[in-house]
Amino acid sequence: MNVRLTLAKGIAALALVAAAGPALAQSDSLGADWRQQQGEARAKVKSGSHISLERVVAEIRKRTPGRMLDAGLETGPDGRSVYRVRWAAADGRRIDFLVDAANGQILSGG
């Protein structure tokens, strides 16, 4: 009896995951427009108005050992362009850094 109940629960869970699959696949932690963000960021780095994400990550790594989870370009609270970098610190913390995209100054996080 217990095996049947466990099997029934497992089948129900699989059905739920299968039904939610398309919705989960469309979900993106950076938002639906992340590809457009990448193009904009590259163009701004190339023009010299923004520093590269690579430099931003290197600076964060010096300050807080760990690894980048994801990153995106967005408008900060004061209207300037910022990189939001989600970071997994070596000590297990998850940190959201806001970094000025023009000069690389870390505005918040860590």
2-44: pLDDT as tens digits? 545 444 444 544 444 444 444 333 334 555 666 676 777 788 8
Tokens coding 81: 């362009």
Quote the DSSP letter at residue 51.
-
Domain ranges (residues) in the chain = 33-108
pLDDT at 28: 44
* Average pLDDT value over all residues in the chain: 77
> How far apart are alpha carbons 57 and 64 in whole angstroms?
10
Q: What is the CATH number of domain 33-108?
A: 3.10.450
For the full predicted model, state whether its pTM sits above 0.75: no
Name the residue with tokens 């913390």. 93
Check residues 5 and 100 and name the one with the higher pLDDT: 100
Helix/strand/coil for 50 = coil
Mean pLDDT of 60-89: 92
